[in-house]
Amino acid sequence: MIVFLITFLVAAAVGRSWFHRRLRRPELLRQVSLGVGGTLLVTNLACFLLEATPFWRTANFTATVGGLAALGVVMTALRTGGVPARQPRRVLAIGAHPDDLELACGGTLAKFVDSGHEVQGLVMSDGKRGGDALERSLDAQRGAAFMGLTGMAHHNFTDTELNRHSQEMVGVIEAAIARYNPDIILTHSNHDQHQDHQAVHQATLRAARQHHSILCYESPSATREFNPSVFVDIDDYMDAKVQAVKMHSDQLTKPYMTPERVRGIASFRGGQARRRVAEAYEPIRLLNTELEKL
């Protein structure tokens, strides 16, 4: 039992990402887990070292099992997880920069993954003009792994100048559509101040000109013309979204990367959707059968 408790404490101490990805109220549960595990470890060590009587050993064992069982029940009750999809779908999420997907649709993507859908990410630049290229590329891979994406394809077109690579991006997106055969495509909105976001939006529409379901997500640089009519409830995934954004350590000094800003946008969109928090989308076109299956 002592070895198990030590293992449990180590896992709780180093497993912050797991708590944030799999549980609601993750920090509280993590602290409670550390507190309960630490207390039980101390009592078990005391019984072992002080050679407690059989009565106290039995009482301590019962308390240990009961405490761990109660903690397990609470964790199970607060575990995130979407309703399993009757028919899993394929989703292609396209972004201009390494942190765009987490900021705009991180909660949605995590929810889709937990519902059994296959999600593939596609990023057009390494963001070298806005930070360290290698670090940003690695952060994108970490964010994708944290959210549970099937894969993340990463290209190195020059950020801030993606409009110069319009034709190449169209080819890349066409190839991705042919390879993954997505049921739904997520991309930037045209109602965005960032020229790279607009360039990716236009490239996506050209590449997916024959596709039936395209949703445009909201970036921090979206303009007042952004007018969503599709909302995804991310109440169970708000903490996961914040943690996914935090994976981009090279960008955390940016004001739009703060948990307060991320939560604020989700809260505002949640109010529009009559939910606590939500992510918002403008549909270019959306087949109703695809929406029903998500």
Same-domain check for residues 232 and 124: yes
157: Cβ contacts below 8 Å, ≥ 6 apart: 124, 125, 165, 168, 169
> Average pLDDT for residues 261-287, to the nearest whole number?
97
pLDDT at residue 134 greater than cutoff 80? yes
- Tell me the DSSP string of 244-284: HHHT-GGGTTSGGGSHHHHHHHHHHHHHHTTSSSEEEEEEE
Residue 278's pLDDT is what? 98
pLDDT at residue 85 greater than cutoff 80? no
Whole-number mean pLDDT of the chain? 90
- In this structure, the dihedral spanned by the alpha carbons of residues 201, 202, 203 and 208, taken in order and rounded to 10 degrees, is 90
What is the 3-state secondary structure of 51-113? CCCHHHHHHHHHHHHHHHHHHHHHHHHCECCCCCCCCCCEEEEEECCCCHHHHHHHHHHHHHH
Q: Which residue has the higher pLDDT, 51 or 252?
A: 252
Same-domain check for residues 108 and 196: yes
Q: Considering only CA atoms, which of 282, 278, 260, 281 is closest in space to residue 268? A: 278
Domain boundary among 26, 56, 77: 77
Residue range 143-157, pLDDT digits in tens: 999 999 999 999 999
Residue 14's pLDDT is what? 63
Burial (CB count within 10 angstroms: exposed 0-12, middle 13-18, buried 19+), residue 124: buried
Contact indicator for 139, 99 with CB cutoff of 8 Å: yes
Range of the domain at 67: 2-77
Residue 68 binned pLDDT confidence (cut-offs 50, 70, 90) = confident
pLDDT at residue 107 greater than cutoff 80? yes
The C-alpha atoms of residue 10 and residue 14 are separated, in whole angstroms, by: 6
The C-alpha atoms of residue 11 and residue 54 are separated, in whole angstroms, by: 30
Q: What length is written for the chain? A: 294
**Residue 164, in any domain of the structure:** yes
Q: Domain tally for the chain?
A: 2
Residue 163's pLDDT is what? 95
Contact indicator for 127, 140 with CB cutoff of 8 Å: no
The C-alpha atoms of residue 244 and residue 222 are separated, in whole angstroms, by: 20
Range of weakest confidence among 8-17, 47-56, 172-181, 229-238? 8-17
Same-domain check for residues 72 and 140: no
Residue 21's pLDDT is what? 82
Which DSSP letter does residue 196 get? Answer: H
Same-domain check for residues 96 and 188: yes
Count of beta carbons in the 10 Å neighbourhood of residue 73: 10
Residue 293 binned pLDDT confidence (cut-offs 50, 70, 90) = low
Q: What amino acid occupies position 81? A: G
Residue 294's pLDDT is what? 65
Residue range 23-67, pLDDT digits in tens: 877 878 888 888 888 888 888 888 878 878 888 788 878 888 888
Domain boundary among 77, 110, 134: 77
Range of weakest confidence among 78-92, 187-201, 260-274? 78-92
Residue 264's pLDDT is what? 98
Q: Considering only CA atoms, which of 90, 82, 25, 66 is closest in space to residue 239? A: 25
Which pTM value belongs to this model? 0.85
pLDDT at residue 119 greater than cutoff 90? yes
Residue 82's pLDDT is what? 60
**Residue 82, in any domain of the structure:** no
Residue 184's pLDDT is what? 97
Same-domain check for residues 16 and 140: no
Residue 177's pLDDT is what? 98
Percent of the chain residues past pLDDT 70, beyond the cut: 97
**Residue 154, in any domain of the structure:** yes
The C-alpha atoms of residue 140 and residue 284 are separated, in whole angstroms, by: 26
Count of beta carbons in the 10 Å neighbourhood of residue 285: 10
Which DSSP letter does residue 190 get? Answer: S
**Residue 163, in any domain of the structure:** yes
Residue 185's pLDDT is what? 98
Phi, psi (deg, nearest 5) at residue 279? -110, 145
